[in-house]
Amino acid sequence: MPKKVVKAAANTYYFQYPALATIVTVRSAEKDNAISIAWHMTVSREPPYYAISVAPSRYSHRMLLESGEFVVNFVPFEKHELVAGIGGCSGSNTDKVALFGLRGEQGSEVGALVLDDAYAAYECRVVGRHTYGDHDVFIAEIVAFHYDPDLFTSAGIVDVGKLKPNVFLGEDRYTRPASEEPVLVSRGAAARAARERKA
């Protein structure tokens, strides 16, 4: 077991990282904005649903409520300063698209930007919102998938030899996956091997 246990809520806690630091784009009333999000996850395979958690205090929260749409942009490690910068100012008083020179096109199904900086992006339409603590969980259907096929294997897995996703470690720290070839372990084979060892 890990050595230490704390029961007091640790206001900020980073033990659950690494996770990808993404750029979520929103568009409302013909205004574009972008936020940095590491609190996201897959929810459902079929139909495909995705979740992000956003604080109501964020300017983009209102835009999400108004538009009901967003795009999750997955960006490479090289963009970690952009991700940090987007997280360091607010759309309430900053045109982030102009400040950071963001380029992209509106999605095919939603109005938010699919960024040129992204190697993959999910166009999302909100289907539910649930308030928990200091954040709202937005659940959305992925209505279009964008990806660069040159950077993924034929099975659709990111090719870490060609592309290093932007991996967030908490606070203001970023890294990338190792360059080594990923290991391949079939879950069925791993379960069978355990049974054979046990027999």
Instruction: Choose between 62 and 173: whose C-beta lies nearer to a copy of itself.
Output: 173
Which of 33, 36, 60, 67 forms a contact with a copy of itself (CB under 8 A)?
Answer: 36
Nearest of 38, 90, 83 to residue 61 by alpha carbon: 90
Side chain identity at 112, as an amino acid letter?
A: A
Instruction: Choose between 28 and 165: whose C-beta lies nearer to a copy of itself.
Output: 165
The burial class, CB within 10 Å (0-12 / 13-18 / 19+), for 54 is: buried
Return the structure tokens found at 10. 């640790």
Instruction: Choose between 29 and 199: whose C-beta lies nearer to a copy of itself.
Output: 199
Binding of a copy of itself by 38 (CB under 8 A): yes
Instruction: Choose between 29 and 185: whose C-beta lies nearer to a copy of itself.
Output: 185
* Contacting range for a copy of itself; rule: CB under 8 A; set: 23-31, 61-69, 130-138: 130-138
CA angle 57, 15, 22 (to 5 degrees): 50
Looking at residues 82 to 111 of the shown chain, list those that interact with a copy of itself (rule: CB under 8 A). 82, 84-89, 94, 98-100, 104-105, 108-109
Task: State the residue for tokens 């956003």.
Answer: 54
Binding of a copy of itself by 43 (CB under 8 A): yes
Q: Total residues contacting a copy of itself (rule CB under 8 A)?
A: 116
CA distance linking residue 142 with residue 109, whole number of Å = 10
Q: What is the DSSP letter of 163?
A: -
Binding of a copy of itself by 119 (CB under 8 A): yes
